[in-house]
Structure 1
Amino acid sequence: MILASLRISFKRGISTGSKLLQQEKAIISGIKSSCPAGTPLNLQIKKSGKEITALEDSEYPEWLWTVLDQKAQEKKLSEDPLKLRKKQMRKANRKHIKQNNFLSEI
């Protein structure tokens, strides 16, 4: 009985997860790069290295298109409560440090 309910909930989790993944891919596929493929990016770090050029949008990893999307980042943080708490603590610590620095100058 317990195993059957676990199997059903596991299957539901997989099906909803795959639907969410398909929705994210549909959203991501609508995003286009700001520079066409083959454009020199002027990011030459080494003197002897060759010029870095832009790639096709499909050649970049999927996560790259969600880096600047605030909603996607919030969703990703909400899935991992430890990372969310760590980010909140970091923000609170910075605020506390700035407040202490301000008060020490008075």
Structure 2
Amino acid sequence: MFTALRAPSTSAARAFSTSALRGAPKSGKAIVSSLQAGAKMDGLSVFKDVPDPIALPEDEYPKWLWTLLDQPKGVPVTKAGERNFMAERKEMRNRNRASIKATNFMKTT
């Protein structure tokens, strides 16, 4: 019998590995937060009776947080002669979406 809970495959575990961050290029520029330490972040509290959070100094946040926006998106690399199925699938979805929109437009006119 199959169980409902399974361990993640190694390919899924690799996607969340922090070892990739160790080899990340260093930007060299000083990290500056958009808020000063102690500033109240209005509207970020999701609970009714909990006060809005207060910004912390930059050194109290984890170092990997500042690299999130620097990381390029994971684009699958293909070798010469190989097909990029992810790009083909995305293009097919876009064509299908455009076809559905055109069909719906013709039904309304």
- TM interval, shorter chain, is 0.5 to 0.7
Q: Kindly provide the amino acid, as one letter, of the partner of residue 55 in structure 1.
A: L
Change (3 A) 1:53 1:97: same
Does 2:95 match 1:85?
no
Matched residue, 1:11: none
Change (3 A) 1:73 1:90: same
TM-score normalised by length of structure 2: 0.51
Matched residue, 1:95: 91
Matched residue, 2:28: 27
- Distance in 2 (CA, whole Å) between partners of 1:39 and 1:91 is 43
In 2, are the aligned partners of 1:44 and 1:51 still within 8 Å (CA)? yes
Matched residue, 1:37: 37
In 2, are the aligned partners of 1:66 and 1:73 still within 8 Å (CA)? no
Alignment gaps of 5+ in structure 2 = 1-21, 78-83, 104-109
In the alignment of these two chains, the number of paired residues is 74
Change (3 A) 1:47 1:98: same
In 2, are the aligned partners of 1:36 and 1:56 still within 8 Å (CA)? yes
Change (3 A) 1:85 1:55: same
Matched residue, 1:57: 58
In 2, are the aligned partners of 1:37 and 1:56 still within 8 Å (CA)? yes
TM-score normalised by length of structure 1: 0.52
Alignment gaps of 5+ in structure 1 = 1-17, 78-83
Query: How many percent identity over aligned positions?
Result: 26
Q: Considering only aligned residues, what root-mean-square deviation do their CA atoms show, in Å?
A: 3.1
